[in-house]
A and B are shown apart, each in its own frame.
Chain A
Amino acid sequence: MPCVADWLNNPFSIVQGIFAQHEPRSDWEKKVTEFFREKLKENNATNWVPSLNDVPLHYLKPNSLVKFRCMVQDMFDPEFYMGVYETVDPNTNTRVLHFGKYRDVAECGPQQEIDLNSSQTVTLERQTFYCVPVPGESAWVKEISFSGVVLNPEFYAYTSASQARVSPSTSYTPSRHKRSYEEDEDMELHPSKQKEQHMGNSSVGDIHGCGEPKRLETEASAGQHLTSPNCSPPLDLNFPLPGEKGPACLVKVYESWESFKVNDILEVYGILSVDPVLSIVNSEERESSALDPMECMDTAEEQRVHSPPASLVPRIHVILAQKLQHINPLLPACLNEEESKTCESLSTTSPYFVSNFMSELSPVRAELLGFLTHALLGDSLAAEYLILHLISTVYARRDVLPLGKFTVNLSGCPRNSIFTEHIYHIIQQLVPASYRLQMTIENMNRSHFIPHKDYAANRLVSGVLQLASNTSLVVDETVLEQGQLDTTGIHNVTALGNLITWQKVDYDFSYHQMEFPCNINVLITSEGRSLLPSDCQVHLQPQIIPPNMEEYMNSLLTAVLPSVLNKFRIYLSLLRLLDYSISDEVTKAVEEDFVEMRKTDPESITADDLHRTLLVARFLSLSAGQTTLSRERWLRAKQLEALRKARLQQQKCVNGNEL
């Protein structure tokens, strides 16, 4: 397909064409974005675009069109660049106009020189985001979005044409194993390094020595850490979570960058730039910095961070970008039917997707409940609450109060960590992004939860709590032992508490703190009541004690058909996005009910209980696909709450008797 190859493989030729055609008028930029938007709207066109998430960097052609699904980790200062510049051939004195948009380097022919003082030069502004792959993204998200590409025959044609041997996903696994081995070794050798940089692994490669970056075959995951001769410590790629892989990327945004925020998830389509010159310019600058007064502006560290070698941190010059509501590849990117018309919908949305799925909602819910009941060792009440937790999301904020968060504390978990680990594995299979936080004393004292600004390098150093919206955070308190928390530990616990109560993280800017609202589902597993605050404590009552937990859990997962699993995934992601309301009639009824309850038992029913019951009712209705509260649901919510409370009461009594 020649036309595909053209705009995919060599987007610059398209841009050049449009530029040459429209150059006097400045609307050529609009024309470019329009062109690509139209192209990508064609059937399945988005699948032809190779994704930086799936394809290792060294298989991608420089200056080709790529896509990247990522989270904005940090925002650098806006930069001014030459939007339009002129080159001069000193021999013939011919002048040519070029565009500088979508480029890092102002290119010119071998015989040409750039005229820096030309009156034709137009200076424009663009913004750089430091983006990382969505932290804690589940493996199935990667696989499904990747297989969507592989299944497309054109993609094979394209990849073979561009000589990129795209290996199927299996080929990554060995290297992954290797990596983890290296990782361990490295951590053993330098325990201190592990602390400073969450990315524990590092390996030595050589980029700067030769003019062209040698992309090492062993560096399958696109070179995590390459140590070059001139920068001795390996570069910290600043992933929020330890052990993350995947390329970090400098994303250059050309329009409406004000609308993006830190921790937003974006899908960008743009031109990949891995020009080796970028790295060379760097090293040159570093060498000459001692002489050059202009270069001493930034510290060496800042330069390292803000212009890392392109082979390590590629640049993407964004042509089209959109904020993602979710990263579930099984769902269309835009759900609202009106919205999908207005928003830059790049995927081909079937407008009936939502209604189709809603019709078969209840069997899916029943199946999911059964599945989770098995996973929670036969406790159906806990499974019910787990579903409610998984579809909860902060839908509004009333001054400081976040509404719609539903942190569940699953107490009474067996002490061996195998159980919680498997619960996490199951959640991981269901939600697009998740992270298991092991609350060991060591972990709490060692790691930095709160992102902080490093003023020497002028960047935001990430922390575990820098997560995208709707990430599931499973806090494992069963591994917590008695011990001493130091200052960092206390800060971390406080931050975690704040996150749960207010759904915000105060990033540390050293001279002041800045509040970043977030929307993270926290599930706490603990033996007794957790030391962290929670909205709702459910005490686990196992019905079955399997002799071999590991086997039991594994068989559970293998027993589920992939198609069913996919339905679960769609179910959980979709219900989060639904609207909800309460009619006046039901409001009245709820009111009566509350007054009544208070009359009979004023001690135990408080405003908090009403808050919680309303939340439970909300999610209960939504989980059944109903967007308004009905009387039955309200009663069911009350019933659930009563069951849960009775269990807690019972637990207290048991403990009391033991004592």
Chain B
Amino acid sequence: PAARTDEARSPPSQRRRAEDAASTGELQPLPTSPAAEARSPGAQDVLFSSPPQFRHSAIPLDFDISSPLTYGTPSSRVEGTPRSGVRGTPVRQRPDLGSVRKARQVDLHSEGPAEDVVASDQSLGQKLVIWGTDVNVTSCKEKFQRFLQRFIDPVAKEDEDIGLDLNEPRYMQRLEEINMVGEPFLNVNCDHLRSFDENLYRQLICYPQEVIPTFDMAANEIFFDRYPDSILEHQIQVRPYNALKTRNMRSLNPEDIDQLITISGMVIRSSQLIPEMQEAFFKCQVCAFTTRVEIDRGRIAEPSVCKNCNTTHSMALIHNRSMFSDKQMIKLQESPEDMPAGQTPHTVALFAHNDLVDKVQPGDRVNVTGIYRAVPIRVNSRVSNVKSVYKTHIDVIHYRKTDAKRLHGVDEETEQKIFAEERVEILKELSRKPDIYERLSAALAPSIYEHEDIKKGILLQLFGGSRKDFSQTGRGNFRAEINILLCGDPGTSKSQLLQYVYNLVPRGQYTSGRGSSAVGLTAYVMKDPETRQLVLQTGALVLSDNGICCIDEFDKMNESTRSVLHEVMEQQTLSIAKAGIICQLNARTSILAAANPIESQWNPKKTTIENIQLPHTLLSRFDLIFLMLDPRDEAYDRRLARHLVSLYYQTEEKMEEEYMDMAVLRDYIAYARTFVNPRLSEEASQALIEAYVDMRKIGSGRGMVSAYPRQLESLIRLAEAHAKIRFSGKVETIDVEEAKRLHREALKQSATDPRTGIVDVSILTTGMSVTARKRKEELAQALRKLIQSKGKTPALKYQQLFDDLRAQSETAVTKEMFEEALRALADDDFLTVTGKTVRLL
């Protein structure tokens, strides 16, 4: 222990060498186990606070060489590579940078001009660079240190660095964080580095293999300067990410080999953990002399002669004492958005090392930063010819899950799409146009003729309202999504509209009411046959979280499936209790449904509910219900004919010119959904209140309620969506006006009482118009009077009673109406109906 304390005082960079020289290859008792130390009682820190050497004196007591547990922990094998080590914190090899480096050294001996060769030795001075590169270790290190100490992000966004002071050097705060948390990884955004020192950035991209270890060195020096007492699991490793060469997989080419790249994709498969030998431990069977051999390009040169006793073939590999690192093979597939149409996705192999193993699961969307490698397929000893193909893979340095935020609930960004500045400019330019609303609605499904208001409604649905959170006051979330139901004659291109929307939105789902079951819409639990693990499979509604779920043939959906929608459409969640799993999933999806009338044609003499036979509880959850009817009018026919004929001979290019590009529309929506979150202005709230009061008034004049709070909520959502279209942060009166107009338009279509011609919301909310309800009550009263007038007969014949009532009434009474009246009276405990007789009570 005494010798050790001496060493501890010597400069860090030399200390490791000294120790190395001292080690004979036998396991050193001392390299401290950081875990053990961290666990050591807190009192120790108080008692022996400052002189570090005292701390060490305690260690040997709880360190037992014979214990098998000490083998294999990283701290028990510090005598690895002779890199600058700091007391207590071991160096850990970086397999992510390894392997090919050795090849370079071989080159260097075989043909490298000797003058250029430079090791990272300081004594040789400033002019020298690492062979094959223009990297000068000293200056590179200094530059990076300067970067760490000084860099302040001018355009920092709050969300990314929670708890960081934006006016202080960013990475110094990160180092402080490392000191506190003890996770020895420093993530460096390459974009920052680029804005700080273009040249250093270029070096990093081109020679990551050489530059990253230099960065490691620099970071560690700063760190241990600042926090000399800190002890980490191993030394800090710098992990750059977001290299500007963020490219899609398709554009990778041979020039990228051995460079630092960042690509995005989706994990499709990950292998089991593969222990990869880093250093082999050999022991002589004769004299027990031991030696270590480092792995060289995937091979281990087994020593054939014992250096100690000169016996040949006496060295045997001792597995337990060899050094392994974790490794995992991962297949990354191009994300579907990056793929050109009509081609299959490319894949690339990734190798993850050490703690990056098992960081990602199949299905995750990730951004990977790593070094692109190409390895020739090895020469086969028996065949002189070689396959002329290289195997390529990426050694992962940094993962960034792009959809990680999805897990964090409410205020997530809907789209992680990053917009180029020019694109944003174009979009903003567009948003300033006064007729942007009309423009966008015209760009929506141009092949579908007219139906302007329906398109506008769908447009508002695409943008959605603002998300509000009232969970603190106990009301939970307010729905921001707008639901729309289209109903109408078959063949009025409802499906086509749905199909278009499904193709437009990134997270859309398309199902047909006929084919889907409750399970297909929600989620179900499956047992994986291999692992016996329960897996939650999600259905269309969950998959379209933050998107739009298009449901065709809504009326064909069976009862149980439809009941699922009740929860989704108002609470925006989905509860499942199945196979022992009880959970609530987010399903913040807008629903765009299409329904056909029960009779093949829409019957204008019936109400919406009667026509499509959907429960009114469900209907009232739709913000807008549109009828798509076939207008019978000559001017319309003429325009339609012209439109269709033009479809059949215009060339494709001509069509595209006329309308706004689908891609622009998509970007516009994505941008607005992400960045625009309008709030109600004072005038707008006033206008909304007025609108609502007006709606209630209309009805109250005739003794009925014509608006419910749900309608007010719908109005708010529509107004917000309209403000979003204008890229406006405030909802203003014009938004409310349009919301009112559209809402009225939809109501006029769907909630007009066919008997009176008056707009009547109660058709949608109670399933029956007020007049119909009144009539029902009157009939029941008439029936009661009729029965009472018959005197004290305990039982009446059903048919007799029906005929009597019909004879008495001025209006036609159908059997259904009669039965309904009977039921109403039965509910009043006035009578009971048994078979063909009616008994009075």
- The answer to whether the Cβ of A154 comes within 8 Å of any Cβ in the partner chain is no
Mark B300-324 against chain A: 1 for CB-CB distance below 8 A, else 0. Answer: 0000000000000000000000000
Let me know if B348 and A77 touch, CB within 8 A: yes
CA A539 – CA B380 in complex, angstroms?
Answer: 68
- The answer to whether the Cβ of B648 comes within 8 Å of any Cβ in the partner chain is yes
Let me know if B110 and A104 touch, CB within 8 A: no
On whether A281 and B500 interact (CB within 8 A), knowing A75-B343, A117-B110, A514-B336, the answer reads no
- The answer to whether the Cβ of B389 comes within 8 Å of any Cβ in the partner chain is yes
Let me know if A105 and B388 touch, CB within 8 A: yes
Inter-chain contacts of A261 with B (CB < 8 A): 341-343
On whether A103 and B388 interact (CB within 8 A), knowing A117-B107, A117-B110, A458-B331, the answer reads yes
List B361-380 residues whose CB lies under 8 Å from chain A: 362-363, 374-380
List A588-631 residues whose CB lies under 8 Å from chain B: 590-591, 594-595, 598-599, 602, 606-608, 610-611, 614-615, 618, 629
Let me know if B298 and A494 touch, CB within 8 A: no
Inter-chain contacts of B492 with A (CB < 8 A): 607
Interface of A is mostly: mixed
Inter-chain contacts of A77 with B (CB < 8 A): 346-348
CA A580 – CA B492 in complex, angstroms?
Answer: 27
On whether A85 and B268 interact (CB within 8 A), knowing A400-B496, A400-B499, A509-B345, the answer reads no
List A68-113 residues whose CB lies under 8 Å from chain B: 74-75, 77-82, 85, 100, 103-108, 110, 112-113
Closest chain A CB from B272 CB (angstroms): 10
CA A298 – CA B495 in complex, angstroms?
Answer: 43
Let me know if A606 and B390 touch, CB within 8 A: no
CA A414 – CA B172 in complex, angstroms?
Answer: 84
CA A228 – CA B634 in complex, angstroms?
Answer: 73
Mark A253-266 against chain B: 1 for CB-CB distance below 8 A, else 0. Answer: 00000100111100
CA A455 – CA B383 in complex, angstroms?
Answer: 32
Let me know if A106 and B447 touch, CB within 8 A: no
Interface size class of A (residues with CB under 8 A): 35 or more
Let me know if B645 and A582 touch, CB within 8 A: yes
Closest chain A residue to B662, Cβ basis: A399
- The answer to whether the Cβ of B433 comes within 8 Å of any Cβ in the partner chain is no
Let me know if B254 and A80 touch, CB within 8 A: yes
Closest chain B CB from A298 CB (angstroms): 8
Inter-chain contacts of B512 with A (CB < 8 A): 494
Residue of B253, B339, B385, B632 near A106 (CB, 8 A) is: B385
Let me know if B500 and A399 touch, CB within 8 A: yes
On whether A594 and B348 interact (CB within 8 A), knowing A110-B384, A614-B648, the answer reads no
Inter-chain contacts of A398 with B (CB < 8 A): 446-447, 647, 655
On whether A460 and B500 interact (CB within 8 A), knowing A281-B380, A614-B645, the answer reads no
Let me know if B638 and A595 touch, CB within 8 A: yes
Let me know if A587 and B642 touch, CB within 8 A: yes
On whether A502 and B499 interact (CB within 8 A), knowing A80-B392, A595-B634, the answer reads yes
Mark A490-517 against chain B: 1 for CB-CB distance below 8 A, else 0. Answer: 1000100000011000000111101111
- The answer to whether the Cβ of A560 comes within 8 Å of any Cβ in the partner chain is no
Inter-chain contacts of B347 with A (CB < 8 A): 77, 458
Let me know if A606 and B491 touch, CB within 8 A: yes
Let me know if A606 and B630 touch, CB within 8 A: yes
Closest chain B CB from A247 CB (angstroms): 21
- The answer to whether the Cβ of B817 comes within 8 Å of any Cβ in the partner chain is no
On whether A105 and B385 interact (CB within 8 A), knowing A399-B446, A591-B642, A607-B644, the answer reads yes
CA A494 – CA B510 in complex, angstroms?
Answer: 12
Inter-chain contacts of B647 with A (CB < 8 A): 398, 403
Mark B607-619 against chain A: 1 for CB-CB distance below 8 A, else 0. Answer: 0000000000000
CA A581 – CA B391 in complex, angstroms?
Answer: 52
- The answer to whether the Cβ of A280 comes within 8 Å of any Cβ in the partner chain is yes
On whether A294 and B378 interact (CB within 8 A), knowing A108-B385, A595-B634, the answer reads yes
Let me know if A460 and B298 touch, CB within 8 A: no
- The answer to whether the Cβ of A277 comes within 8 Å of any Cβ in the partner chain is yes
Let me know if A107 and B385 touch, CB within 8 A: yes
Inter-chain contacts of A512 with B (CB < 8 A): 336
Inter-chain contacts of A264 with B (CB < 8 A): 342
On whether A396 and B645 interact (CB within 8 A), knowing A281-B383, A608-B491, the answer reads no
On whether A598 and B632 interact (CB within 8 A), knowing A80-B254, A292-B298, A403-B647, the answer reads yes
Mark A279-297 against chain B: 1 for CB-CB distance below 8 A, else 0. Answer: 0110010000000111011
- The answer to whether the Cβ of B344 comes within 8 Å of any Cβ in the partner chain is yes
Let me know if A607 and B491 touch, CB within 8 A: yes
Let me know if A490 and B340 touch, CB within 8 A: no
Closest chain B CB from A548 CB (angstroms): 42
Tally of B interface residues using CB under 8 Å: 83
CA A238 – CA B379 in complex, angstroms?
Answer: 31
Q: How many A-B residue pairs have CB under 8 A?
A: 196
CA A378 – CA B384 in complex, angstroms?
Answer: 70
Interface of B is mostly: mixed
- The answer to whether the Cβ of B693 comes within 8 Å of any Cβ in the partner chain is no
CA A441 – CA B362 in complex, angstroms?
Answer: 35
Let me know if A455 and B253 touch, CB within 8 A: no
On whether A100 and B257 interact (CB within 8 A), knowing A517-B341, A580-B649, the answer reads no
Inter-chain contacts of A514 with B (CB < 8 A): 336, 339, 345
Closest chain B CB from A489 CB (angstroms): 11
Let me know if B388 and A297 touch, CB within 8 A: no
Let me know if B254 and A124 touch, CB within 8 A: yes
Let me know if A490 and B641 touch, CB within 8 A: no
Let me know if B376 and A116 touch, CB within 8 A: yes
Closest chain B CB from A318 CB (angstroms): 16
Mark B91-110 against chain A: 1 for CB-CB distance below 8 A, else 0. Answer: 00000000000010011001
CA A73 – CA B640 in complex, angstroms?
Answer: 41
Inter-chain contacts of B634 with A (CB < 8 A): 595, 598-599
- The answer to whether the Cβ of B386 comes within 8 Å of any Cβ in the partner chain is yes
Inter-chain contacts of B385 with A (CB < 8 A): 105-108, 277
Let me know if B637 and A587 touch, CB within 8 A: no
On whether A281 and B387 interact (CB within 8 A), knowing A398-B446, A618-B648, the answer reads yes
Inter-chain contacts of A104 with B (CB < 8 A): 387-389
Closest chain B CB from A514 CB (angstroms): 6
CA A501 – CA B499 in complex, angstroms?
Answer: 11
CA A113 – CA B385 in complex, angstroms?
Answer: 8
Closest chain A residue to B643, Cβ basis: A607
Closest chain A CB from B440 CB (angstroms): 14
Residue of A123, A277, A494, A614 near B644 (CB, 8 A) is: A614
On whether A85 and B637 interact (CB within 8 A), knowing A124-B254, A281-B383, A587-B646, the answer reads no
Inter-chain contacts of A559 with B (CB < 8 A): none
Residue of B103, B345, B377 near A117 (CB, 8 A) is: B103
- The answer to whether the Cβ of A18 comes within 8 Å of any Cβ in the partner chain is no
Residue of A278, A293, A403, A515 near B648 (CB, 8 A) is: A403
On whether A594 and B344 interact (CB within 8 A), knowing A110-B384, A277-B385, the answer reads no
Let me know if B386 and A296 touch, CB within 8 A: no
Give 12 new A-B contacts, CB below 8 A, not counting A258-B340, A277-B383, A400-B499. A80-B389, A261-B341, A262-B343, A293-B274, A396-B655, A397-B652, A400-B445, A509-B345, A580-B649, A587-B642, A598-B632, A618-B648
22 contacts between A and B (CB under 8 A): A75-B343, A78-B252, A79-B392, A80-B374, A106-B385, A108-B385, A114-B386, A297-B391, A297-B393, A396-B651, A398-B647, A399-B500, A455-B362, A458-B347, A511-B362, A514-B339, A587-B646, A591-B642, A594-B637, A594-B641, A607-B492, A614-B645
Interface residues of A (CB under 8 A from B): 74-75, 77-82, 85, 100, 103-108, 110, 112-114, 116-117, 123-125, 258, 261-264, 277-278, 280-281, 284, 292-294, 296-298, 396-401, 403, 455-456, 458, 460, 490, 494, 501-502, 509-512, 514-517, 580-582, 587, 590-591, 594-595, 598-599, 602, 606-608, 610-611, 614-615, 618, 629
Interface residues of B (CB under 8 A from A): 103, 106-107, 110, 252-254, 257, 266, 268-269, 271, 274, 276, 298, 327, 329, 331, 336, 339-349, 362-363, 374-380, 382-393, 445-447, 449, 491-493, 495-496, 499-500, 503, 512, 515, 630, 632, 634, 637-638, 640-642, 644-649, 651-652, 655, 662
